[in-house]
Chains A and B, each alone.
Chain A
Amino acid sequence: MTCQELDERLDGWVDGELDARAAAEVEAHLAACALCQERERRLRQLLAHAASLPRSLTPPRDLWPGIARRVERERSWSWAGGLQPWALAAAATVVVGLVAVLWTGRAPSAVRTVEIPAATPEARLAALPSVSDPVVAAAERDYEAAANALLEALQQRQAEIRPETLVAVRANLEVIDRALAEVREALVKNPSNPELNRMLVATHRKKVDVLRRVVRLSTAL
């Protein structure tokens, strides 16, 4: 066995992974070669040092406050407020998905006849439990009115819009409406939660944004 060959087997040797024959060859070479003995000694020393490194180290500062802040923020946005994370994620991807469908014309389903949902009757909002923050309640009424106006505009153009697009619009509006219902429900349980108030307004804004984009893009296509 040459020194080069021993070098290639040294790791297997120190890890005890060589078969009996290979191990005997390495042993015989080591017994006769001071240079390789030194190599072996150095490798074992490296491994001993690596194994002696502490597996526990105290971070130089307290990392918990940063973790707690992030966890609290996520909690107030999701399940602790009674809101399902899927609804938030789905609502957040609606705009991108819709624009993609409008421009590519790819059909998410084979349904050929679909209608844009009717504008929400004003009575529906009035019948829901009231949002306690008057500013949020007013914003909600304004957004609902804007959404209704856009829905009516979209219905008038319905015949000009591709059925696949209508399927996507309808599906996405349903997602947003479900998210709105969940935020609202959570807000009734936790009326003072500022994140939920912001979420409600942001989701309304998203709905109006989506409708506005659809109206604009449908006229451009």
Chain B
Amino acid sequence: MEGLAGAVLGETLTHMRDNEDRRAAERRLVQAAQNGDLLAFERLYRENERKVFALCLRLSSDAALAEELTQEVFVRAWRKLASFRGESAFSSWLYPLTVNVALSERRARRRRDARIFATDDPASLERAPGVPRPEAGFDLQKAMASLPPGARAVFVLHDVEGRTHEEIAAMLDLAPGTSKAQLFRARRLLREALGS
């Protein structure tokens, strides 16, 4: 028993040390980037591009637009880098920025060209191996794309990304009750779209 507890504790400590090492390495990269080191900023980009792209894709439901949004997020991150004090992980700092860019850019573009669903099949990007669809015909990504933008944003942030209503409310400048109402609306629309 002691051996097992020791192994678990050892693993936990290793994990903590790994995290600390990672955070320390990230802090060094951020500092270098803040001093104008573009290679360091590229490393930060490489560490975070997949999460940012996935979030942009879910919020925009448009693969081509998600690429542009991802680029915009990192250009803005570069501009705002001086304001990052390292109190949180770089990815945590990047998260609300990504949400803000994705939603505001999408609003602006919708006004310009009323673009709704420009990609052939954004779902093809995310059929990760080992994640089976629950049932035939259950195309969640497509159903999400048909949601009104506000309801989709809350659904993505709450049910896909696991954020709380308080966090969502702060990011989207809403009351938590409004976030909840939008979530229930999104779920109801999705249930209807998916035939349940």
Q: Using CB atoms, name the residue of chain B closest to A72.
A: B38
Q: A43-B187, A46-B187, A54-B131 are in contact. Are A61 and B67 (CB under 8 A)?
A: yes
Q: Is the interface of A mostly helix, strand, loop or mixed?
A: helix
Stretch at the interface among A62-70, A155-163, A169-177: A62-70
Residue of A nearest to B74 (CB): A67
Interface presence of A55 (CB below 8 A)? yes
The reply to whether the CB of B136 lies closer than 8 angstroms to some CB of chain A is: no
Q: Does A75 contact B (CB under 8 A)?
A: yes
Interface string of B123-135 (1 = CB under 8 A from A): 0011010010111
Contact partner, B75, options A48, A57, A70, Cβ 8 Å: A70
A45 within 8 A of B: yes
Q: How long is the Cα–Cα vector from A37 to B4 in the complex, in angstroms?
A: 42
| CB-defined contacts of A75 to chain B, threshold 8 Å | 36, 38
Closest to B51 in A: A56
Does B57 sit within 8 A of A, measured CB to CB? yes
Q: Is A71 an interface residue (CB 8 A)?
A: yes
Nearest-neighbour CB distance to chain B for A62, whole angstroms, equals 9
Interface string of B65-80 (1 = CB under 8 A from A): 0110011001100110
Which listed residue (B53, B134, B141) contacts A45, Cβ 8 A? B134
**Would B42 and A63 count as touching, CB distance under 8 A?**
no
Do residues B191 and A53 form an inter-chain contact, with CB atoms below 8 A? no
Q: Which of B29-43 contact A (CB under 8 A)?
A: 36, 38, 41-42
**A residues near B78, Cβ cutoff 8 Å:** 67, 71, 74
Minimal beta-carbon separation of A75 from chain B (angstroms):
7
Question: Could you say which residues of chain A place their CB within 8 Å of the CB of B74?
Answer: 63, 67
Q: Residues of B contacting A48 with CB < 8 Å?
A: 134
Interface-forming stretch among B5-13, B15-23, B156-164, B166-174?
Answer: B156-164
Across the interface, which residues of A come within 8 angstroms of B194, CB to CB? 42, 46
Is A63 a contact partner of B184 (Cβ separation < 8 A)? no
Determine whether A1 belongs to the interface, using a CB cutoff of 8 Å to chain B.
no
B93 within 8 A of A: no
Q: Is the CB of A63 within 8 A of B67?
A: yes
B residues in contact (CB < 8 Å) with A? 36, 38, 41-42, 45-46, 49-51, 53-55, 57-58, 63, 66-67, 70-71, 74-75, 78-79, 125-126, 128, 131, 133-135, 138, 140-141, 155, 159-162, 183-184, 187, 190-191, 194, 196
Contacts from A to B (Cβ < 8 Å): 11, 38-39, 42-43, 45-61, 63-64, 66-68, 70-72, 74-75, 80
